[in-house]
């Protein structure tokens, strides 16, 4: 047989070696031999199709890295259609794996690439099971296993290792992108520029450096490089650098490079470029005076009052809805705009109520007679302001029986003047009632009198505003009101409300905020009413001083620095009202958040303990208290991750408090 059919003898020997050799290194040369013999004898039965199959099998076996696998071009389906079904299906499964991996080339997102790699890994596992099951079943009916089974098994083992290596490498890779945010601005010298640096990879980037490159179109300054120590995956940071543009230029091309380390490589480098267009203001500068924003006092006009529609809707529903409740508690932290809501509430409810603001801190402190008489005076003044003339009673009439005279004589005597409206008594700083009782300036029975008034005086509704819910005060006096009050928290402004507050009050002036400047104001204030008004007030002071019509994020940062350096009283109030444990937590959080978005409780505890601070229990209590005061926030009650709710507070602590 050898002498007559040498080629056939060589083919049989090769098939025998492929099927029986236990040495995997024999497979590649043996497959090459079989492919050569089949190619040289195209007239053999199935020779052409088998030649194509073995050519593909050789390529599959040679591919031992992801890059080599991706370089394989799958054969057209019809070229393998005449092979035995088990071999055809085996090859089809291999081709599906290749096609799935080829999808990686169509995307840049590493997370999506990882999905395709894991899909490919799953396809390899399924193919391994198929090869083991189907080819073994075929081999059971013949004397020896199919020769292709060992080679296919080797291919799949190589590919499995290649994908494991690729997945590990991908998971260790950071992917840093940078985008110049200051693409249009007015000409300045020096010119501040802002970049958004993002890590779209799957691992941490370290020592991320943004460096301006020399260019004939501009000069570098000392602030031409910035470093981010750590940038976790999925996070981003803003970086600001400056350069010196040439005079009288309308467009400037800027070039920069990003250098960073990750778990795979050190000093990865990428070069970028973009263009800055200089704009000319549409209108000449115009000084804004008076400044519309108000700091430190309640808002009494509509000009800079925005939002709170949910609060007003809640009050309307309770006072006018099907299930009416005439006692409402508005509660929120200090300087969150509660008094401003009360001023606005009188106007909002004007169709159905005469609003009467009662400032508890300004009330006389010489007993029930003076207290109730002063409320009567507030009511008479409010009615006069609404065009209704009502005579104020003699004060001596309150001396004999103040509660009886106020309810039975004064309030009932007002009914003919109220027409179809109710009185809306709005008590600001209602906690002052308890203080006066505890100081002996009012009798505890004043609470029972108020409850009786609320339950039986149908033409009077009540709104109380303070920093607590009634039950949070923990005093027996308020228990008489627990069950008859509806509660509504006064929280922070929404991002949309902040945007309105930034833009609407100055809409008639030639001032324009860059969108990134708006976002920075939202970020640092979180919509805290006082801090938002404070920042916007100082932005107008800065605008008037610098005479720049287009305000950028760089201008916002300049203003924030001024506010922190000056040291607003409310910062100091927050610090003074915090316990020693709370101050430790605030300082630790401020230091840890220098290069992070959030801090876990575990990291905070370790940080504080390393610096000699003690008592984990005190810190847990401090965290709960700071969350309750809207100074810190967490995604939910059980989350260990915390951050400052108002980033401006973090900045003040970081700038003014010594390191632990």
Instruction: Give the angle subtended at the CA of 18 by the CAs of 16 and 20, to the nearest 5°.
Output: 65
Q: What is the pLDDT of residue 8?
A: 84
Domain-ending residue, one of 171, 188, 222: 171
Q: What is the pLDDT of residue 298?
A: 72
* Residue 287 belongs to some domain of the structure: no
13 shares its domain with 141 = yes
Q: What is the pLDDT of residue 376?
A: 95
Q: What is the pLDDT of residue 654?
A: 93
The separation between the first and the last C-alpha atoms of the chain, rounded to the nearest angstrom, is: 91
* Residue 407 belongs to some domain of the structure: yes
**What are residue 451's phi and psi, to 5 degrees?**
-60, -45
| Axis crossing angle, helix 647-656 with helix 515-525, rounded to the nearest 10 | 70
Residue 64 has pLDDT above 80, yes or no: yes
Residue 402 has pLDDT above 90, yes or no: yes
575-615, pLDDT tens digit by residue?
Answer: 999 999 999 999 999 999 987 788 999 999 999 999 888 77
Residue 254 has pLDDT above 50, yes or no: yes
15 shares its domain with 110 = yes
Q: What is the pLDDT of residue 4?
A: 47
* CA 436/CA 638 separation, integer angstroms: 39
Looking up residue 538, the CATH number of its domain turns out to be 1.10.8
- Residue 62 class from Cβ within 10 Å (0-12 exposed, 13-18 middle, 19+ buried)? middle
Strands 184-186 and 599-600: unpaired
Domain-ending residue, one of 489, 506, 525: 489
443 shares its domain with 546 = no
Strands 268-279 and 251-261: antiparallel
* Residue 296 belongs to some domain of the structure: no
| Two tokens, residue 410 | 């004064």
CA atoms in the 13 A half-sphere facing the CB of 557 = 11
In the predicted model, what is the mean pLDDT of residues 301-322?
82
Lowest-pLDDT choice from 261-275, 287-301, 330-344: 287-301
* Residue 284 belongs to some domain of the structure: no
Q: What is the DSSP annotation of 64-131?
A: -SHHHHHT--PPPGGGGTTS-HHHHHHHHHHHHHHHHHHGGGG---HHHHHHHHHHHHHHHHHHHHHI
Among candidates 504, 502, 501, which has minimal Cα distance to 513? 502
* CA 212/CA 225 separation, integer angstroms: 6
* Residue 618 belongs to some domain of the structure: yes
**What are residue 203's phi and psi, to 5 degrees?**
-140, 170
Looking up residue 253, the CATH number of its domain turns out to be 2.60.40.10
* Residue 293 belongs to some domain of the structure: no
313 shares its domain with 400 = yes
Residue 567 has pLDDT above 60, yes or no: yes
Lowest-pLDDT choice from 16-25, 192-201, 376-385, 540-549: 16-25
257 shares its domain with 139 = no
Q: What is the pLDDT of residue 301?
A: 67
As a whole-number percent, the residues of the chain with pLDDT over 90 amount to 47
88 shares its domain with 104 = yes
66-115, pLDDT tens digit by residue?
Answer: 999 998 887 665 554 567 777 788 888 888 999 999 888 888 787 888 89
Among candidates 225, 221, 182, which has minimal Cα distance to 207? 225
- Residue 549 near residue 283 (C-beta atoms within 8 A): yes
Domain assignment of residue 109, given as a range? 6-171
Domain count for the chain: 5
555 shares its domain with 576 = no
CA atoms in the 13 A half-sphere facing the CB of 372 = 29
Q: What is the pLDDT of residue 142?
A: 60
Q: What is the pLDDT of residue 613?
A: 86
Domain-ending residue, one of 516, 541, 566: 566
Mean pLDDT of the chain: 87
H or E element, residue 352 = none
Number of neighbouring beta carbons within 10 Å of residue 650: 21
pLDDT band at 185 (very low <50, low <70, confident <90, very high): confident
- Residue 437 near residue 446 (C-beta atoms within 8 A): yes
472 shares its domain with 509 = no
* CA 215/CA 218 separation, integer angstroms: 6
In the predicted model, what is the mean pLDDT of residues 461-479?
76
480 shares its domain with 451 = yes
Residue 3 has pLDDT above 70, yes or no: no
- Residue 406 class from Cβ within 10 Å (0-12 exposed, 13-18 middle, 19+ buried)? buried
348-365, pLDDT tens digit by residue?
Answer: 999 999 999 999 887 776
644 shares its domain with 628 = yes
Residue 146 has pLDDT above 80, yes or no: no
Residue 472 has pLDDT above 80, yes or no: no
Residue 407 has pLDDT above 70, yes or no: yes
Looking up residue 587, the CATH number of its domain turns out to be 1.10.10.10
* Residue 288 belongs to some domain of the structure: no
271 shares its domain with 416 = no
Q: What is the pLDDT of residue 46?
A: 77
Looking up residue 430, the CATH number of its domain turns out to be 3.40.50.300
Highest mean pLDDT among 376-390, 448-462, 553-567, 623-637: 376-390
In the predicted model, what is the mean pLDDT of residues 451-478?
81
* Residue 297 belongs to some domain of the structure: no
Residue 555 has pLDDT above 80, yes or no: yes
343 shares its domain with 455 = yes
């Amino acid at each position: 047989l050898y002498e007559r059919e040498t080629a056939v003898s060589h083919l049989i020997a090769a098939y025998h070696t492929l099927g029986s050799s236990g040495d995997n290194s024999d497979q590649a040369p043996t497959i090459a031999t079989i492919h050569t013999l089949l190619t040289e004898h195209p007239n053999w039965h199935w020779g052409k199709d088998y030649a194509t199959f073995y050519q593909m099998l050789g390529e599959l076996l040679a591919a031992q890295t992801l890059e080599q696998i991706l370089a394989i071009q799958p054969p057209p389906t019809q070229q393998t259609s005449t092979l035995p079904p088990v071999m055809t299906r085996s090859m089809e499964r291999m081709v599906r794996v290749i096609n799935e991996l080829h999808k990686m080339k169509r995307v840049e997102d590493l997370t999506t690439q990882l999905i395709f790699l894991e899909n490919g890994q799953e396809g390899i596992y399924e193919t391994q099971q198929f090869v083991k099951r189907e080819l073994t079943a075929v081999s059971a009916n013949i004397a020896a296993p199919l020769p292709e089974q060992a080679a296919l098994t080797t291919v799949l083992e190589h590919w499995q290792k290649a994908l494991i290596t690729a997945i590990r490498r991908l998971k260790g890779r950071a992917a840093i992108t940078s985008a110049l945010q200051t693409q249009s601005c007015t000409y300045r010298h020096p010119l501040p520029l802002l970049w958004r640096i993002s890590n779209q990879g799957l691992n941490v980037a370290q020592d991320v450096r943004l460096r301006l490159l020399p260019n004939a179109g501009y000069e570098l300054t000392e602030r031409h490089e910035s470093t981010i120590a750590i940038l976790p995956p999925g996070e981003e940071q803003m970086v600001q650098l400056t350069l010196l543009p040439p005079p009288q230029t309308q467009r400037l091309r800027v070039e920069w490079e990003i250098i960073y380390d990750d778990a795979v490589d050190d000093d990865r480098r990428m070069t970028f470029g973009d263009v800055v267009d200089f704009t000319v203001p549409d209108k000449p500068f115009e000084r804004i005076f008076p400044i519309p924003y108000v700091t430190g006092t309640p808002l009494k006009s509509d000009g800079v009052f925005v939002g709170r529609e949910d609060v007003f809707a809640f009050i309307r529903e309770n006072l006018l809805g099907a299930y009416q409740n005439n006692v409402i508690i508005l509660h929120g932290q200090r300087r969150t705009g509660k008094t401003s809501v009360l001023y606005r509430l009188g106007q909002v409810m004007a169709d159905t109520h005469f609003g009467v603001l009662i400032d508890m801190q300004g009330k006389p402190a010489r007993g029930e007679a003076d207290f109730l008489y002063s409320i009567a005076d507030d009511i008479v003044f409010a009615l006069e302001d609404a065009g209704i003339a009502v005579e104020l009673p003699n004060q001596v009439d309150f001396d004999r029986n103040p509660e009886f005279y106020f309810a039975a004589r004064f309030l009932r005597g007002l009914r003919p003047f109220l027409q179809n409206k109710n009185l809306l008594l709005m008590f600001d700083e209602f906690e002052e009632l308890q203080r006066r009782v505890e100081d002996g300036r009012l009798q505890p029975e004043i609470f029972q009198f108020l409850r009786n008034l609320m339950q039986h005086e149908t033409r009077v509704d009540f709104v109380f505003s303070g920093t607590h819910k009634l039950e949070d005060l923990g005093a027996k006096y308020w228990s008489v009101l627990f069950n008859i009050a509806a509660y509504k928290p006064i929280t922070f402004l929404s991002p949309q409300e902040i945007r309105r507050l930034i833009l609407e009050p100055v809409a008639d002036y030639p001032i324009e905020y860059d969108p990134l400047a708006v976002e920075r104001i939202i970020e640092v204030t979180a919509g805290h009413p006082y801090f938002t008004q404070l920042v916007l007030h100082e932005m107008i002071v800065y605008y008037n001083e610098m005479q720049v019509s287009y305000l950028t994020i760089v201008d916002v940062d300049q203003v924030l620095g001024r506010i922190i350096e000056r040291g607003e009283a409310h910062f100091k109030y927050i610090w003074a009202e915090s316990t020693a444990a709370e101050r430790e937590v605030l300082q630790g959080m401020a230091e840890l958040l220098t290069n992070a978005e959030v801090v876990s409780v575990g990291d905070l505890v370790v940080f504080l303990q390393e610096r000699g601070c003690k008592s984990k229990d005190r810190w847990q209590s401090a965290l709960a208290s700071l969350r309750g005061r809207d100074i810190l926030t967490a995604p939910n009650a059980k989350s260990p991750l915390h951050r400052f709710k108002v980033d401006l507070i973090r900045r003040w602590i970081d700038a003014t408090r010594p390191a632990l």
